[in-house]
Each structure stands twice: as structure tokens, then as C-alpha cells.
Structure 1
Amino acid sequence: MRLLTYVRPYWIAFVAAILCMGVSSIIEPVFPALMKGLLDNGFATAKDSWDWLLYPAAIVGVFVARAILGFIGDYAMSWVSNNVVSELRRAMFARIVNLPVGYYSDHVSGRLMSRVAYDVTGVASAATSALTTLVKDSLSVIGLLGWLLYLNWKLTLVAFAMVPFIALAVRAFSGRLRQVSRGIQASQGAITQILQEAIEGHKVVKIFGGQQYECERFEHSVQEQRQFAMRATVASSAQGPIVQFFAAVALATIMAIAMKQAASDQTTVGGFVSFITAMLMLLAPVKRLTDVNAPIQRGLAAAESVFSVVDQDAEPDHGKINIERASGLVEFDGVSFGYPGSERQALSDVSFVVHPGESVALVGQSGSGKTTIANLLPRFYHIDGGEIRIDGNALNDITLHSLRRNIALVSQEVTLFNDTIAANIAYGTQKGATPDEIRAAADAAHALEFIELLPQGFATQIGEKGVKLSGGQRQRLAIARAILKDAPILILDEATSALDTESERHVQAALETLMRGRTTIVIAHRLSTIEHSDKIIVLKHGSIIESGTHSELLGRKGAYANLYLTQRSEGESAK
């Protein structure tokens, strides 16, 4: 019934489709009725008048009317079906982009894509195509049975005797089909996931000789889907012949009784031919009604998959405070946090303050909690204890929209989209930026020099994930995007760690422009890039073990000094 809520906006077309199908099906018994009149009366009237032309004309009229009504009904239902698919995909995508960060960690992207791309069509099939068959063929069956009852109720009761056997056969296969359909959907998600990983990681696959391994993974998933598909075929294909067997038994019994009645003058030739014609016409819609069980079960299984995404809770946002532009005061007060499913705390009683316009660098070994701090500030995750404040307001009291409007992020893993350079710089809330504003941001990010060398300049398509650009060029576009946003709080997550010396020089200069006048939290691997930070915080196992300026920490000869000296000696030996 929930599917009908997506059909409701198109109810006029839906009702029109149902009416056309209904009328088309209801007039189906007219054909066997005309056969009775033709055989009983038509040949007698042909001798004396032109009335005999009425029967052929009526037969043609019936088929023309059914053809026109059938076309209108099918077209209208297809229009509704495609709109339902679009609405469901929009609803799923709108939910996906608003899901909590933790959801993406627990669910593979390939399965999500499979649900949007494939499962939705199964739902629409159940909501519209299967419904078409149910309406059209059910009314045909009812109309033909009504005519059969009118002609000979005794013979018709023989046909009704087969109904319980047919119902049992349909019910026996329904559960099997639903279960197998779930398996098909899961295997389709696995195929999509493997395909996505192989395409995105094609360089790694080639350099490490992973072609055979990936082919074996893909083969396993394809074979798994094939097995599920064959099980579904067995269940759906076996159902039809079983139903047809019972229908054939009923037809043979009826024909034997009808022939006996005709021999004893209990029925006319026209009545007998009309009855047999109606019985034969009844077989096709009965078969389609039994076959429709398979797409209905597939659709119901797909609906479970689709609505499991639509029904996911979006990111909780209970904030009431709307910050127009923050001054940039950031406070971590006794913050503790552990990732779901992890046994140890990622952060434990972390406290520090970043004043407006200051830059604070976070350093430490991998897993010390640096990136966790960067994830907590935009509220990608919710803290377990303590409090984070911006301008004195608790993070949970600030609306998500206004919180993230005041934060810009530049990370080592740059996210760019298969669009133009201009669209990637003026992304999201900045899409209304003027060409002059986009150009100024690119200039400040030291990106203008390479953009102007491209044949189409800012209109250049950069490919999936910016594959047509170098690492340094992608990083500078990300910085230009942050400059254009002009947020008062900036997070730099190892923004230069993966660059060569020349690219790092350009990016570092761009970052200095970006950081000017902004509250900045820098996560750095290369300590040489953070020597001029207002404060350096050293983390270990989720706790702060040292904090101070670069010179102060070197003077203490503690963990930071050891790390700094180690990196400097490694750099000198590399030369």
C-alpha cells in the first residue's frame, strides 16, 4: 500500500489507465457472445437481408475498441510507472546525501548504487506493471466467467472446482520467489561493488597484477547471481505448467460434458462454440495472473530494499541557534569519543582552545586522534562526553546548516566532480558565484596559472575525481573552493603530505593566503609546515601529551622534539 503514496500525484493518469484497461477487459466476453449469435442466428438471416454484416462489423469493432483502449491504458500506466521510478530515486538520493557519516562506513557503496539503479525498477514493476496485469486480466476472467455462468452454470462450476488447487500452487511458490529475489538483489550489489572498485583502482590492479584476482571475485559474484536467477526461473516456470495442468483438466472435463449435452439437444451449436471459445480465451489471462506472482514477489523484495534506505534516519539536527558568521572561537572541553564498534576510545578527555584567527596544529602518530578531532568539529560524529563550543555555543545547539556554513575543509584526499573547473570551485552553496569571484579565488589559490593554459580554461571538464589534473592542481582547486566559501573556520587535514616539492611550494603559498584571518586547525605529517603555528598540540592514543609553540616544545625535548629531530635527520639523509 505504501507504493500507492508515490502513485498518488499521478492519480488522474492512473485512474484513466485502470478505466481503459477495465473497459477493455469487460468487453472481452462480447466476442464469444457474438459467436453464439452468429452461429445460431447469423446464417439464417444471411438469406433474406444485409443483417448478416452486423456480426463481422461488430467483431471488428470489438477488436478495434480493445486495441485503442489497451494502448491508452498501457501508455498511461507506463507514464505513471516511469514517474514512480523517478520519485523513488529522488527520495533515495535525497536520503543518501543526508545520511550520517557512520552509515557510509557500515554499508558498501556498490550495494547502495545497486538499490538506486536496479531495485527501484523492481518496485515500480510491482506497483504498476503487475497491477496492470491484475486489473486487466482479473476483469477479463470475471467477465468471461460471468458469460460462462450465463451460458451453462453447471459446466462453469467444474471450472471453479480447480480454483483451490491453483491457489495452493501459487501460494507454495510465493515465499520461494521472495527469498530468491532478495538473493538476486544482494548479488547484484556485490557485482556493482566489485566493478566499481576495479574501475576506480585500475592502476593498482595493473601494477600489482590483480587482474586474475579481480576476475575471480567477479566470476564468483556473477555465478552466485546466476544460481539465484535459475532458482527463480525454476520457481516461476514450474508454477505456470502446474496451473495450466489443472486448467486443462477442467477444460477436458467441460468439453466432455458439453459434447454429451449437445448430443442430447441440451445446448445449441452456437452455445457450445461460444462456451468453448470463452473457455479458451480464459486460459491466457489465467496464465498471466499466475505468472504475475513472480514480478510481484521480486517487487516486494525490492521494496524492502528501497524503503530500508528511504526509512533511514537522516543526520540528527536538534540545534536551534543559527550562526550567521562565527568569530572563530573554538573550544574542546573534556571531549571523549569512540567509534561505533571500536573497543577503545579515539579521544579521551581532550581540551584545548583556538582563539579567532589563530592556527593550531595537531601532530602525532597515526591513530593518535588527529583526524577524529577534524571529524567532530563539523559534527560528522557525535561526542560521547565533554563539550565542543563555537563562539561559546555548544555544538549540538547550533543548526547543522549554519555550523557547516562556517567551516571549510581541505584534505589530503581531494574530492572533485566530473564537471568543469568553474563548477568544482563554485560548488554547493557557492554555485551562484560570478565568474570574477571564481577567477579571484583561483588566483588566490595559485591555480590560475595552470587553468589559463588549458584549452577551455574554467570550462574544462576535469574527468572523474579530477583525473585529468595532477595532484598539486587538484589540491589547489580544493583550496580555491575553500577560498571562495570564505568560512571563518578552516580545517586542513594533511593537505600537502602527498605532493612533490614543486607542488607543495605552490600549495603551501595558497594555504597561507587561505589561512590569513581564519581560525585554522591543521593536521600535519610534515612538521616543517607547521613551525609558525600559534600552538602545536601533540596527541598520543587519543590524549594530549604536549602543547605549546614550536620553540617551546623543542626546548622541552619531549615527544615533539624527538619527532621533529627524527624527521629532519631523515630529510637530510634523503638528500
Structure 2
Amino acid sequence: MINNKNSLEKLPSDSLNNSSNITTISYRRLITYYLLHKKLICIALLALSSFSLVDAGMIYFVKPLIDQGLGKADSSTLQLGALLIIGIFLLRGLTSFTSNYAIAYVSSKVTYQIRQQAFNKLLYLPRAFFDNNSRGSLIAKLIYDSEQLSQSFASAVVVVIRESVIILVLLTMMFYNSWQLTLIFLVIAPIIALIINKVSKRFKIISRKLQTSMADVSQATEQAILNQQEIILLNTSGEISNKFEDINNHNRQQNMKLQATSAISNPVIQLIASFAIAAVLLLASNEQVLQQLSPGTFTLVLIAMGSLLKPLKQLSNINQYLQKGLTAADSMFSFLDEKEEHDSGTKQLLSQCSTITFKNLSFTYTGKSQPALKQFSLQVKGGTSVAFVGESGSGKSTLARLLLRLYQSPAQSIFINDIAIEKYNLASLRAQFAYVSQDIVLIDDTLANNIRFGCNRQVSNEEVEQAAFDANVTVFANELALGLNTQVGENGRSLSGGQRQRIAIARAILRDASIIILDEATSALDNHSEQHIQEAFTRLCKNKTLLVIAHKLSSIKNVDKIVVINQGELVEQGTHTELLAKAGYYRTMHTRDLS
């Protein structure tokens, strides 16, 4: 990663132009979010302009205070000035609060809206998207990018309007009082504009690299947390720490480049401005010019010129905020434009399953050269139990994923009740399934609410308790102080693997779907618990279709049919007894399983 840190700086011109087009589109799209709050934005802009007008206009009173109040010893002018100072600062404070609060409110609403849209998008993306994108980068989008998008843009708008109005007011006062001296200062404007343009391009490049490095930091941190136990047991803490140090240092370097660009632009602009101020002083030293200037006028122009340095400095920094916001906008809008799960089906799967049919099903995962399934054909009668066995990677779990449409199978290759599954509405299709995988996902809630989770109907406490009993959850729940009301922690961290699987099985029992898929669902259970579970499914799977994916052949002896898969192909099928009698692939697996 560190070796490629300059790659963005060497992009061809057409790539940079394309990037510029994307940024322009993102900018226009971002504006639509702010236009939803037009009234509040108008109030903020009016207050912000008033603040700048008052802030810069204070300098105008320098001239009468010096020429009238001090030069002519006019006490009434000084007294009036004292009252004006209080009024000016009162108005200044009021407009400052109004503009800052209104802009902060709009910015927070935009962040909220975009982050919510991104989270909702996350829930409807196809499974293949998550295969190609790390969780760390996705978390960074929702947390870092969404915040940068609105906050940076709002900060940029505030600075642009506030400082531009201040500059305009100061230049107007200078030009009105001495156009000759003002022209000298205006000569440097094109030079400053050129510097700001160069700095802007530099900020854009670095902001993109900084965004990528933040995603890398998030991903590395997440992986360290998830794999902390393995890291300790394998004694790889030093190796992981060194890798994170490289990533962390790369992130630091990008931040420093951003800060260095900002830091060097400020003194350069101020140095150029200092030449203009020096020229004004030299011109004012001319006796002819000096006679035309009053002390108040000269002081006003000089203070105004000095006051111009701060807004010019702020405007030179604006690109740092603006480019970070636009880079985040490009990232977020690209994510929001990702295609959701394909769901063009219009039919509703509401009746019981009578048949599940696979017809010449072939499937290859994106990025893989070897197909996971090859010309797989099978018919499963509704109300029967079928077990799929084979070596790891043979394609068993792929069948379940395709049946659930987590991945899209070729059209007209999988049928339920003689209708291709792509013709069914996704929600109605999945409502007919209860899926228990080997990777159990639990929510940070009670045992009872985890059993209820995903049930598409109102469930009574009695039903939850019965499902817990049937799945052998009550055996360990009764030993807990709060029973089924016990909190399980993040993803059930307070539970063992077997306990977590029993909760998932209880969830499937309560769902009462017509098709039940068990993907290594009993792999973490001891023999005693597994026996209870098998008995429960025997009772509850009457008139339901049960599909079992298993490595432990001892758990599938009583199913109606066993389907043996090897390297994506169906090689044998039959009952346990029939397959043993064939003395084929299944018997070899069974013999090895017993040894």
C-alpha cells in the first residue's frame, strides 16, 4: 500500500477529467439535499451576510473617530462611537448565533438523511456485493464519509459566503476612500486566485487518498477485534501490529500532506499581500499623495488591507474542506447507486411447497474459474426430508443460497411448485423458508427476543417458551437468573456455540415456514442435545419440506433421501441403506466418518 501512495498523482488526464465530471455530478446531487431546507438556508445566509457586513463595516468608523473625534477633539463623536460599538457587537453576536445554528441544523439533517439512505441501501444489496467489499470500508462510509460529506460542505459554504462578503465590503470601503491605493492591492488578486486553484487540485488528490486510508484503518481494526482470540493463540500480535502500523502511518502521511499543503498556502498568500501593503506605504510616502489623505482615510485603508489577509487565508483553506466533502460525496453517491437485489418477480408464494425442482443448474461465483455447481438436476417432493452431503466446497451450501436467492441462479433452473423462483416476489419466497446456518447471527437482546427475531407474525410468550423447550434452549436458560429474559450480548458472546445454535433452531421452529433448511445446524451440539433437536424436528416437520446440509452422516440416517454431491455434481441419491448397499462414494464417506 505504501509503495503505491503516489498512484493518484500520476493518473492520465482523461481519468482526471472523468473524476472531475463525477465530482460535478455529486456536487449537483448534494445540493438537492440542501434544497429541502430552503427557508432555513435563506435565513442562515441572510444572517451570515449580515454578520460579515457588520464585522467588516466596523472598520469604517475608524475614519470619523480619528478625523472628527481625535483630530478635532469632538467628544460627541467619541460618545456616539461608544454606543455604536455596543450595538454593533450585539447585532454581530445575534447574526453569528442565528447563522451558525441554522447551518448546523441543516448539516445534521443532511447527514442524518444520507446516512439513513446508506444504511437502508446496505440492507437490500445482493450477497455478492459483500463478497467484494470489506466490512471496514462499508462502516467507514456510513460513519466517516457521511459526516465529512455534509460537515465539510457546510463549513465550506459558511467560509465562502462570510469571507467573500467581508472582502467585498473592505474593498468597497478602500476604493471609495482611495481608489489609487486600492488598485495596488487588486493587482495581486489574479496571483492569489492562481495559487488557490493549484492548492485546490492538490487537496482533491490527497482527499481521495485520505478517504481510502481511513477505510483501510477501519478494516484493519475490525479484523483485529473479530480475530483477537486467533491472534493471541497463533502468537501473531507482532505481525498484525506491524501491518496496522504501516496502514496507520500511511493515514498519518496523507493527513500531513493535507496539512502541509494548507500550511504552505497561507504564508505564500500573506507574503504576496504584504508586497501590496508595502507598495501602499511607499506610495503614501509620496508628498503629493500624502497631502490628499487625511489620517483617518490612510488609517482606514491600511487597516482594511491588513484585515483582508484573514479572509484571504480562510478562502485559501476552503478547498481543504470542500474537497474532503466532495470526495466523500463521490463515495457515498457511488454506494447509493449500487444495484439492489434483483426482484422483478410478481407472483406470491403463499401455498405449501409441493415440489422443489433443480433443472440442469450450473453456477459459478463471480471471480471464480471453477463452477460451484455443474448440470445439477433433482426433484424434491414437498413434505419430505432430503439431506445433501459431500466434501467441503462440493456445492451443498451453494444450493441453499441459490434457493433462497442470496445469489441469482440462471433463469428457469430452480422451480418451486413448477414455477421458476425468479418469478416469485422475494419477500413472499423467503417467507416460506426457515434457514439455520452454521454461522449463527444473534441480536444484542434477550434470549426470548432472539427467538422472536424474524418471525413474520405476532408471537405470544407461550409460543416462545414452547419453541425454546422444543429446541432444548430451556435446559441452559433455566440456569440463568432471568431465564429467557437474559441478555445474550453482542452476537451472543455470552453463549457457547451449541447454545447459540439452539436459539437459531428455536427461531426456525417458531417461524413455522413450509420449507426448513438446516445448513450444518447441529454441528456444534453434543450427542445428547442433538438427539433432542432431531426429535423436535421429527415432530414439527410434518407436512413440511426439510433440506439438511450435513457433514455428520450420523445425523441424517432417518431422512427420506440422501443426495451426494462431489465437485458440484450429483453423483448418488437414495436412502441411507440403499447408498450403503451401492458401495459407492457415500459408503466411502460413511466408512471414513466412523473411523
Q: TM-score, normalised by structure 1?
A: 0.94
Equivalent of 1:459, from 446, 464, 485?
A: 485
Q: Please point out which of 446, 452, 472 is paired with 2:472.
A: 446
Give 1:95's match in structure 2, choosing from 121, 124, 135: 121
Asked whether the 8 Å contact 1:328–1:518 carries over to 2, the reply is: no
Local SS of the residue matching 1:2: helix
- Following superposition, the deviation at residue 512 of structure 1 comes to 3.4
Q: Give 1:257-296 correspondences, 5 Å limit.
A: 257-260=283-286, 264-296=290-322
Equivalent position of 2:581 in the other structure = 555
Letter paired with 2:184: V
Q: Partners in 1 of 2:460 and 2:36 — Cα distance? A: 38
Judging changes above 3 Å, is the alpha-carbon distance between structure 1 residues 517 and 142 closer, same or farther for their aligned structure 2 residues?
A: same
Q: Provide Cα deviations, 1:299-357, integer angstroms capped at 9, x if missing partner.
A: 12222222221111111111111223443521111111111111121111111111221
Residue 208 of structure 1, aligned match among 234, 237, 242: 234
SS of residue matched to 1:317: coil
2:61 to 34, 44, 58: 34
Change over 3 Å in CA distance of 1:371–1:184 after alignment to 2: same
Q: 1:474 & 1:432 partners in 2: Cα distance?
A: 23
Percent of residue pairs bearing the same amino acid type: 36
| Aligned residue number for residue 39 of structure 2 | 12
Residues 324 and 286 of structure 1: CA distance in aligned 2, closer, same or farther (over 3 Å): same
What does residue 419 of structure 2 align with? Answer: 393
Q: Offset of 1:363 from its aligned partner?
A: 0.9
Q: How far is the alpha carbon of 1:219 from its aligned partner?
A: 1.0
Q: Distance in 1 between matches of 2:217 and 2:325?
A: 20
Structure 2 gap segments, 5+ residues each: 1-27
1:348 aligns with 2:374: yes
Q: Give secondary structure in 1 for the equivalent of 2:564.
A: strand
Over 3 Å counting, the alpha-carbon distance change for 1:277 and 1:5 in structure 2 is same
TM-aligned CA deviation for residue 22 of structure 1? 1.0
Alignment check: 8 A CA contact 1:328 1:489 kept: no
Q: 1:16-50 CA distances to partner (integer Å, 9 max, x unpaired)? A: 21111011112233212211122222347765x74
Change (3 A) 1:550 1:442: same
* Alpha-carbon contact 1:81-1:129 (below 8 Å) kept: no
Name the structure 1 match of 2:130. 104
Q: Per-residue CA shift, 1:112-165, capped at 9, x if unaligned?
A: 111111122211123211111111111111111111121122222222211111
| Partner of residue 60 from structure 1, selected from 75, 86, 100 | 86
- Larger mean CA deviation between 217-226 and 558-567 belongs to 558-567
**CA separation of 1:82 and 1:259: change in aligned 2, threshold 3 A:** farther
Q: Does 1:190 align with 2:241?
A: no
Distance 2:307 2:248 in 1: 40
> Could you list the per-position Cα deviations for residues 407-435 of structure 1 after superposition, in whole angstroms to 9, with x for gaps in the alignment?
11101111112222222122245485333
**1:262: how far off?**
7.7
- Map 1:56-205 to 2 at 5 A: 56-205=82-231
Distance in 1 between residues matched to 2:244 and 2:544, nearest whole Å: 48
Counterparts of 1:509 and 1:475, CA distance in 2: 16
Shift of 1:500: 3.0
After superposing the two structures, state which structure 1 stretch, 35-44 or 73-82, moved more: 35-44
Note the alpha carbon deviations across 1:340-379, whole angstroms, 9 max, x for none.
1111211111111112211111111122111110110011
One-letter identity of the residue aligned with 1:525: H
**Correspondence for 2:494:** 468
- Kindly provide the amino acid, as one letter, of the partner of residue 64 in structure 2: G
Instruction: Identify the residue that residue 573 of structure 1 maps to in structure 2.
Output: none
Which residue of 524, 543, 548 corresponds with 1:498? 524
Contact 2:454 2:511 in 1 (8 A): no
Pairwise mapping of residues 361-440 of structure 1 onto structure 2 (< 5 A)?
Answer: 361-384=387-410, 386-428=412-454, 430=456, 432-440=458-466
Q: Shift in Å at residue 438 of structure 1?
A: 2.2
Decide whether aligned partners of structure 1 residues 262 and 206 sit closer, same or farther in structure 2, where only a CA change above 3 A counts. farther
Distance 1:37 1:212 in 2: 71
SS of 2:225's partner is helix
Q: Cα gap change, 1:507/1:238 in structure 2, threshold over 3 Å: closer, same or farther?
A: farther
- 1:316 is the counterpart of 2:354: no
Counterpart-to-counterpart distance in 2, 1:538 and 1:381 = 22
Q: Which residue of 2 aligns with 1:244?
A: 270
Cα contact 2:65–2:77 (8 A) shared by 1: no
Partner Cα separation in structure 2 for residue 521 and residue 289 of structure 1? 65
SS at match of 2:415: strand
Tell me, in whole angstroms, the C-alpha distance in 1 between the residues paired with 2:278 and 2:454: 70
Structure 1 contact 472–504 (Cα < 8 Å) conserved: no
The offset of 1:274, in angstroms, is 1.4
The 1-side partners of 2:76 and 2:198 are apart by: 55
Amino acid at match of 1:418: D
User: Using the alignment, how far apart are the partners of 2:216 and 2:541 within structure 1?
Assistant: 43
90-99 or 497-506, larger mean C-alpha shift: 497-506
Q: Which moved more, 1:553-562 or 1:534-543?
A: 553-562
**CA deviation after TM superposition for structure 1 residue 513, in Å:** 4.3
Greater CA deviation, 393-402 or 303-312? 303-312
User: Secondary structure of 1:433's match?
Assistant: coil
Of residues 191-200 and 256-265 in structure 1, the stretch that sits farther from structure 2 once superposed is: 256-265
Q: Is residue 284–residue 290 contact of structure 2 (8 Å, CA) maintained in 1?
A: no
Residues 431 and 69 of structure 1: CA distance in aligned 2, closer, same or farther (over 3 Å): farther
Contact conserved, 2:153 with 2:326, CA < 8 A, in 1? Answer: no
